[in-house]
Structure 1
Amino acid sequence: MMDELELLKRDWQKKGKDLPKLSYDEIYKMIWKKSSSIVKWIFFISIIEFLLPHLLYLLPSMSKNMAVWKDLGLGNFLLLSNVVQYSVVLFFIFQFYKRYREISSLDNAKQLLANILKTRKTVKYYVIFCLSLIFISFMVMAVGIYLNDDPMLALGYGNQVENINPEKLKTTLLATVVILGVVITLVMGCIYFLLYGILLKKLKRNYRELKDMDV
């Protein structure tokens, strides 16, 4: 698809202003279809990403993790973060759907340029929000551990650490959670880059194609 688009574009540029209108229209339609397909995939991936954690909640280990938050005195934060997460993620999913519908119905190259820019910005804000929420969640858990008198008991390991210095244990646990939060945020950042970064690069390429056509 890309090779055909490049050939059409070069042929259009060589002929200058006297070229047939059909050549320009063919190039535009190819870019429009590719852009619409990319935004559709962004929309589908965001839905899958939203549904996947809910399937994981069915696992017994996830139920235990939820109980840990409550035992650390972070039940209210967990409730608040879930409300914020659902509200914001559903808002972004709606925005992706809206961008897809807009691009799918466009017949104007300048409007297509504007919508490509909107889509790229929306995806960037979405990724920043998701990564920020992951990192903040771990930092809040670290604070909960720091303020808890017996965090190991809250984690369900109270009977296994009776002979270990409590302060040293809390410091080790605190450092582990912080490091784990940084690592998981970075790993999720890489996953988001693979999922959305490749699609955004393709959208950027389409944007440049349209700009080179002097639309």
Structure 2
Amino acid sequence: MMDELELLKKDWQKKDVDHPKLSYNEIHGMLWKKSFSIVKWIFVISLIELLVPHLVYLFPSLWPSDGYELYENLGLANPLFILSFLYYAVVAYFIFQFYKRYKEISVLENAKSLMAKIIRTRKTVKNYIFFSLTMFLLMFMTVVFFIYINDDFIHSLELSGKDISEISKEKLENLKFLSMIIVAAAGVVLTLLIGFIYFLLYGLLLKKLNSNYSELRKLEV
């Protein structure tokens, strides 16, 4: 189904119609408005993505009661804090870049300049997606690594209410290996799930932005 711009473009290109045709500037202005709206949504979605997960802190009943203690026992508290700090620092940088792209495209300029800004926006979004997915998977792999090097893993988890010493060393090793597999598999599945969500959100917006870029190239010919 053709959108309004496509219909207007076809009308503009017709030579034998009696009603007024759209000028180059009118079509360029419409493409600029669409591009501006898309970049605004990219900026807004990135802010929501950063803020929404932290709403859990508004509901103490949803906090894991022994989460921090578990991280401490596994030696994960400091590594995960460092990774989280790095993640938020880089995400803040990307959000700032999205804001810059938003402000840049808010100024109506010629088609060539708008095309250059669209290219920069596409590159920034792709880098953001790659970084976010990589960091998310890295956090899970860090947990797997610390489970592997932690000889007292089962005691740290306190999985059973009985004396752990009754369980054979072989069974403890098997349970440790199984835990590593489960965490690694969960990391891969959740990373793929988030990647799919990114594809739906950012991918759709990038597709529209790419379409605008293609139309601008045609106007420049």
CA RMSD across the alignment = 2.2
How many residue pairs were aligned? 211
The residue matched to 2:75 in structure 1 has which SS?
A: coil
Contact 1:138–1:181 at 8 Å: present in 2 too? yes
Structure of greater Rg: 2
Moved more, 78-87 or 4-13: 4-13
* Residue from 127, 130, 149 that aligns with 1:128: 130
Matches within 5 A, 1:47-62: 47-58=47-58, 59=60, 60-62=62-64
User: Shift of residue 86 of structure 1?
Assistant: 1.4
Which string of whole-angstrom CA distances, capped at 9 and with x for unpartnered residues, describes residues 67-102 of structure 1?
322221022211211211111010000000100010
The runs of at least 4 aligned residues of structure 1 exceeding 6 Å deviation read none
Structure 2 counterpart of 1:43:
43
* Residue from 176, 182, 188 that aligns with 2:188: 182
Which letter does structure 2 place at the counterpart of 1:179? A
The residue matched to 2:109 in structure 1 has which SS?
A: coil
Distance in 2 between residues matched to 1:117 and 1:8, nearest whole Å: 25
Relative to the length of structure 1, the TM-score reads: 0.89
Matches within 5 A, 1:1-215: 3-15=3-15, 23-58=23-58, 59=60, 60-62=62-64, 64-159=66-161, 162=164, 163=167, 165-214=171-220
Alpha-carbon spacing, 1:189–1:43, altered in 2? closer, same or farther (3 Å): same
Contact 1:38–1:199 at 8 Å: present in 2 too? yes
Distance in 2 between residues matched to 1:113 and 1:212, nearest whole Å: 11
The residue matched to 1:159 in structure 2 has which SS?
A: coil
Relative to the length of structure 2, the TM-score reads: 0.87
Moved more, 147-156 or 197-206: 147-156
Q: Which runs of 5+ in 1 are unaligned?
A: none
Which has the larger share of helix? 1
Alpha-carbon spacing, 1:135–1:14, altered in 2? closer, same or farther (3 Å): same
Contact 2:11–2:22 at 8 Å: present in 1 too? no
Q: Which runs of 5+ in 2 are unaligned?
A: none
Which string of whole-angstrom CA distances, capped at 9 and with x for unpartnered residues, describes residues 112-169 of structure 1?
1011111111011001011000111011100110111222332342536834611111
Alpha-carbon spacing, 1:62–1:31, altered in 2? closer, same or farther (3 Å): farther
Alpha-carbon spacing, 1:38–1:67, altered in 2? closer, same or farther (3 Å): farther
Alpha-carbon spacing, 1:63–1:129, altered in 2? closer, same or farther (3 Å): farther
Which letter does structure 2 place at the counterpart of 1:84? L
Distance in 1 between residues matched to 2:72 and 2:192, nearest whole Å: 26
Which letter does structure 2 place at the counterpart of 1:184? L
